[in-house]
Structure 1
Amino acid sequence: MKAKAAILEEFKKPLVIRYVDIPPLLEGGILVKMVSSGICGSDIHMVDGEDPRVPVPIILGHEGVGEIVEINGDKRDLNGEILKKGDLIIWNRGVVCGECYFCKVLKMPYLCENRKIYGINRSFKEYPHLSGAFAEFIILEEKTEILRLSPNTDPNVIVMAGCSGATAVHAIDALEDNLLDKTVVVQGGGPLGIFALSLAKFQGAKNTILITGSSFRKEIAEKIGIDMILDRNTSAEERLNKILDITYGRGADVVIEATGTNKAVPEGLRFLRKGGTYIIAGVASPQEKVPIDFYEVSSKNITIKGVWVSDAEHFKKAVSFVEKHQDLFATLITHKISLDEINYGLDLVRERKAGKVVITY
């Protein structure tokens, strides 16, 4: 039995469609037929060789929903339900060891020293080969954290919960206080930014503000009820003044970087009020360094917090949130493509001509 897969064989080159053998399952392994996978902005950095975690050749794709074809042994999902053939499932993209210092002592499994990530750091050369979501089938190993989905769940919508959704939950959970009556600014109108603002809005934020230069992302933000949308193509002073105008001259309580670029950070810090919090959630690959005015940081008593990926708790919360608000998140999907169109989909994301691009099988 063979599976069609899109393989990154060389950095900065198009993915190549190959038909590869499906190997036998090891104890605890699960063979899944893909139903939907999502293209993430970080996939572009991986294709371009900017993410040091990525080996080649590799099957990329770390956002996936699929149907169980075969299970070697017994397996339960995060709710304790027994999984069986035919179940529609979504899985946590990271597999942690549960034994290292960060897993066991600090209780921060997202920092696991041995973390394996589907579609990111698992070489096609190594078993089980089918370790990414850009393929007709994927093989999940025994320690994978899984959630069984309701048959009423739209796989094309829920797929975004596995990465941008879970990371956004982590960003909101990292705050020391709730968001009631707060002003939250998000830099970047991709799925991560939209998801973070949606969470802020549903948690009672008084003002939700998005900064984006994309016209169709503005339309998406308007549809989901974001309070203010600031055009990235205006001047930095214009954007700052509009934030000051609605915060009585103080600035935002929380600013979340969801652009994926270091260059957004200096401006984001300026948006904050004294005592505010800046969350860096989108920067997922090494980049050119940017200057920071640390006098501004200290004199305003700013908290800067990095947010790296997510764990099982964030993943489960994100899936639950999207399941409850499927109509809301369906507005983020601008393109549905086939696996054969994968390079077209990557180009759409690279050129910021899409909201969420989903591959259907």
Structure 2
Amino acid sequence: MSETAGKVITCRAAVAWAEKQPLSIETIQVAPPQAGEVRVKIVATGICHTDAHTLGGHDSEGKFPVVLGHEGAGIVESVGEGVANVKPGDHVIPLYIPQCYECEYCKNPKTNLCQKIRFINDKAPMDKVCLLGCGITTGYGAAINTAKVEPGSTCGVWGLGGVGLAVVMGCKAAGATRIIGVDVNSDKFETARSFGATDCVNPKDHGDTPIQKVIMEMTNGGCDYTFEAIGNSATMRAALESCHKGWGESVIIGLSPTDISTHPSQLITGRVWKGTAFGEGSTDQ
């Protein structure tokens, strides 16, 4: 058992005291885990746009002060009463959407929105698996689970950061024959191609021509599936309007601080607009 089990410990943390304010590096106290809780020593972490979304004051459920961050990997330091699925020393990924297997959400195959247990991965390199806590699982799952990309399809991915690249990976794994990456930073294109993108487009290279028109012309009518991994209402609309009439589906992954809109005809003519949380994944995947 850890020497610190059952004791209050001190840690260094980047504290967000209020929205839109700089983070403050401080020493904080962390209480021992209570019943059903686990205290984890974080070894590696990624940075998610959701944290910036909360810090920017765009999350109605965001509470301050807070230590932001949810995309990590670490080692179980101690556990609270009733915890039987992990033990001190286990390597874990503290996913932000766990699974209890008991509630109505866990028992319903249509959703993944539960809040309890943690996933164990004893031998995985923590500086890599930390990304499974959000970014990779979200993007990859958006293609595989939410859109259910089909072999031979054409896909468009807006935003070629970590989440967008994971979408590209998912589309490739699903058998898409054409994967178009869209980003205003052309420096990302080489990496995107290494992940499976077949085409890369920078909207800045096309002047005043809307990117949806560019994509429609490139694909002879639009993509079968598009994904928005930026968190911008304008690119969300562009991704939808780049879908093929009659069957195109557009998946929103990013969080936008503003409302989204499109002309009703885009939906009436058969396009589908949907969202995804954590790629509809769960802790047992």
Task: Give the structure 1 partner of residue 225 of structure 2.
Answer: 254
TM-score (norm 2): 0.85
Task: Give the structure 2 partner of residue 57 of structure 1.
Answer: 65
Distance 1:5 1:238, change over 3 A: closer
* Mapping for residues 88-99 of structure 1, pairs under 5 Å: 88-95=91-98
Distance 1:316 1:195, change over 3 A: farther
Could you tell me which runs of 5 or more consecutive residues in structure 2 were left unpaired when the two chains were aligned: 1-8
Q: Is the 8 A contact 1:183 1:254 kept in 2?
A: yes
Task: Give the structure 1 partner of residue 75 of structure 2.
Answer: 67
Q: Are residues 1:26 and 2:34 paired?
A: yes
Residue identity over aligned pairs, in percent, reads 26
C-alpha distance in 2 between matches for 1:298 and 1:68: 51
Q: Is the 8 A contact 1:192 1:282 kept in 2?
A: no
2:194 partner amino acid: K
Deviations 1:44-78 (A, max 9, x none): 1211111111100111001110012223356455x
Aligned residues between the structures: 274
1:280 partner amino acid: I
Q: Are residues 1:35 and 2:51 paired?
A: no
Deviations 1:319-357 (A, max 9, x none): xxxxxxxxxxxxxxxxxxxxxxxxxxxxxxxxxxxxxxx
Task: Give the structure 1 partner of residue 276 of structure 2.
Answer: 307
Distance 1:200 1:149, change over 3 A: farther
RMSD over equivalenced CA pairs, Å: 2.6
1:6 offset after TM fit, Å? 1.2
Task: Give the structure 1 partner of residue 239 of structure 2.
Answer: 268
Q: Is the 8 A contact 2:146 2:279 kept in 1?
A: no
Deviations 1:139-165 (A, max 9, x none): xxxx32222231xx3212221111122
Task: Give the structure 2 partner of residue 295 of structure 1.
Answer: 265
1:199 offset after TM fit, Å? 0.8
* Mapping for residues 330-341 of structure 1, pairs under 5 Å: none
TM-score (norm 1): 0.68
C-alpha distance in 1 between matches for 2:242 and 2:170: 20
SS in 2 for 1:179: coil
Task: Give the structure 2 partner of residue 222 of structure 1.
Answer: 193
The structure 2 residue matched to 1:84, chosen from 87, 92, 95, is 87
Task: Give the structure 2 partner of residue 148 of structure 1.
Answer: 121
SS in 2 for 1:70: strand
2:273 partner amino acid: I
Deviations 1:228-285 (A, max 9, x none): 11013133747456544553x12211011111111112222232112111111112x5
Deviations 1:286-337 (A, max 9, x none): 41x34411113212x1111122335553x554xxxxxxxxxxxxxxxxxxxx
Q: Is the 8 A contact 2:228 2:239 kept in 1?
A: yes
Q: Are residues 1:179 and 2:144 paired?
A: no
Q: Is the 8 A contact 1:212 1:232 kept in 2?
A: yes
Q: Which moved more, 1:234-243 or 1:193-202?
A: 234-243
Q: Is the 8 A contact 1:8 1:47 kept in 2?
A: yes
